[in-house]
Structure 1
């Protein structure tokens, strides 16, 4: 893989920016999840009736199909943004981008790896994120595992 010139290499995004972007994106993900759930429940009611749908949704084991559907929808959200521009809407707001070491966009496979490793990284009280404070290159668990990194974009507004 082509290594960028150290003088032109973008700095890693600080954790606070990453968390701020995650907060913005979580608002979008909650809205998207609510929309998908509403459509799913509407279809279930049309096909199986309201009583059967209510029983399934209120059962102790929940709805595995809906859970799987939401898991895939959230992955799709990230995959679309990460493979096309390297930025979700939250990342755009905080001027950070995910990329390969050479500055290119990450692949769908890298997106999947990041997504799957970021979940326990976050659920373990953010341990995978805070690992960046101890990592010699400042990378999180999901950065390392997916061979990608989140960089801070130069602020072009200040340069003018």
Structure 2
């Protein structure tokens, strides 16, 4: 009987994941600008408060669709591919839709607590920026508490990020 050696998959460094997230921010910004433009075109640039809430919901849904589509089809977004990072779930060839949706919801932990604090205490301007940065830093520190160096949203969703090898071109 042959012993099978488990494949050891490297976890990308936290630095690499943070740079991927920064790159993702700029790519996602363009997706969201297109979503807002489409929404304004469809609603004829309505300034009604309900239309503004609808716009925010539409942008949230488009953002979720972008991430869920990318994660379930290829395992990475364009930024993750650039930084050779892939999201996987043990035992699955592709990330299931339910798992991708959970990961998206749990990833709001990067921002939502700080935004709720800002809303509850009526913070504005630089205070909001500071609160969000503090929330992001706190969430990033969760990777140091995890034995596999995974962020909290990956642990909660049952996913993990793996480092892909460099492509050797001949």
- With the shorter chain as reference, the TM-score category is 0.7 to 0.9
Asked if 1:117 is matched to 2:106, the reply is yes
User: 1-side partners of 2:110 and 2:63: how far apart?
Assistant: 16
Asked if 1:136 is matched to 2:125, the reply is no
Asked if 1:96 is matched to 2:85, the reply is yes
Residue 57 of structure 2 corresponds to which residue in structure 1? 68
Is the 1:87–1:96 contact (alpha carbons within 8 Å) kept by the matching residues of 2?
yes
Partner secondary structure for residue 147 of structure 2: coil
Per-residue deviation at 1:5? 4.5
Asked if 1:24 is matched to 2:29, the reply is no
User: 2-side partners of 1:102 and 1:5: how far apart?
Assistant: 16
1:18-39: CA deviation from partner (whole Å, max 9, x where unpaired): 1111122221211111111112
User: 1-side partners of 2:17 and 2:71: how far apart?
Assistant: 14
Residue 161 of structure 2 corresponds to which residue in structure 1? 150
1:34-59: CA deviation from partner (whole Å, max 9, x where unpaired): 111112112212xxxx6xx23x2xx5
Structure 1 segments of 4+ aligned residues over 3 angstroms from their partners: none
Q: Which ranges of structure 1 fall in alignment gaps of 5 or more residues?
A: none
How many residues are matched?
A: 145
TM-score (norm 2): 0.76
Partner secondary structure for residue 156 of structure 1: coil
Q: Which ranges of structure 2 fall in alignment gaps of 5 or more residues?
A: 112-131
User: 2-side partners of 1:68 and 1:24: how far apart?
Assistant: 23
Residue 9 of structure 2 corresponds to which residue in structure 1? 10
Per-residue deviation at 1:147? 0.6
For the aligned residue pairs, the C-alpha RMSD in angstroms reads 2.3
Partner secondary structure for residue 76 of structure 1: helix
Partner secondary structure for residue 162 of structure 2: strand
Per-residue deviation at 1:137? 2.1
Q: Paired residue for 2:94, among 102, 105, 111?
A: 105
